[in-house]
Amino acid sequence: MAFKLQNKRIEKITFHTLRHWNATMKYYKTKDILHVMRLLGHKNINNTLLYTQLVNFESNEYHVKTASTANEIKELLEVGFEYVCEKDGLMFFRKRK
């Protein structure tokens, strides 16, 4: 694949690289370091804390959705949206891009 795409960096991707990426994404989505620690099988929280410093996810761009029924609210929360406020009978949710 590295030859076909002419990208030698692909050869440096290992299982450990994918493990780090997955753990970082899981922490980003859940903000639950203990969940990530259990997922990785770490016994020491200091090992897991490395994943919180790998990527800066701070962004001012959001996906914004509204919900007016319990089912819509449930669906938005299940995919990672967070509640912001309510106005005119609509609940507003956001999720970082």
* Tens-digit pLDDT profile for residues 85-94: 999 989 999 9
**Domain shared by 20 and 1, yes or no:** yes
* Tens-digit pLDDT profile for residues 21-73: 888 888 877 778 888 899 889 899 888 887 766 656 566 678 899 999 999 99
**Domain shared by 49 and 71, yes or no:** no
**Domain shared by 16 and 32, yes or no:** yes
**Domain shared by 53 and 63, yes or no:** no
**Domain shared by 47 and 68, yes or no:** no
**Domain shared by 7 and 53, yes or no:** yes
> How many domains, the chain?
2
* Tens-digit pLDDT profile for residues 59-79: 667 889 999 999 999 999 998
Per the structure, the complete domain to which residue 93 belongs is given by: 59-97
Q: What is the DSSP string of 12-66?
A: G--HHHHHHHHHHHHHHHH--HHHHHHHHT-SSHHHHHGGGSS-----S-EEEEE
pTM of the model: 0.48
Between the alpha carbon of residue 23 and those of residues 5, 30, 40, 72, the distances in Å are 27, 11, 7, 29
